[in-house]
Amino acid sequence: MRNVIYYNSKCSKSRTVLAILEEKNIDIEVFEYLKDPIDIQELSFIVEKMNYDWSVIIRSKEERFKELGLSLEDAKKPEEWVKILRDNPTLLERPIVAYNDNVGICRPTENIFAIINSKA
Would you give the end-to-end CA distance of the chain in angstroms?
12
**Percent of the chain having pLDDT more than 90?**
68
Q: Is 106 known to be catalytic?
A: no
Q: 22-70, pLDDT tens digit by residue?
A: 999 999 999 999 999 888 888 888 888 887 677 788 999 999 999 999 9
The three-state secondary structure class of 91 is: helix
Query: Is the confidence at residue 20, as pLDDT, over 90?
Result: yes
Domains and CATH numbers, the chain: 4-117 (3.40.30.10)
Query: Is the confidence at residue 19, as pLDDT, over 90?
Result: yes
| Alpha helices in the chain, H assignment, sequence order | 12-23, 40-50, 54-57, 63-67, 78-87, 111-117
Catalytic residue, candidates 1, 3, 11, 26: 11
